[in-house]
Structure 1
């Protein structure tokens, strides 16, 4: 029971354990591993930026 809860926590909280949003099945770590093989060089995850819909979009007076 504890293992299941920990697994669920890691799948929701740890980026590399999350499901890749483009296919809904593969974990992010596996996608990075496959991309690394395709490129022929190691790929290292260094960080990410989280944006919400519309965040950072500046409107000009002409658009209104």
Structure 2
């Protein structure tokens, strides 16, 4: 098994969400939102894992990655 980890655009993120959750309705909005990041692990062309995160703005003007 050779895995690749790629930054996920809306299409790749939607494929991962469909595989693991079943509904990809928010993939395009999440992928296009500022401060978001998603990575998808592929085995050949098949999503086998994913993770996501975002930057959470704080009231004191700083930000906290989540």
TM-score, normalised to structure 1, is 0.28
The structure where helix makes up a greater share of residues is 1
TM-score, normalised to structure 2, is 0.28
The structure where strand makes up a greater share of residues is 2
**RCO (CA 8 Å, sep 6+): is it higher in 1 or 2?**
2
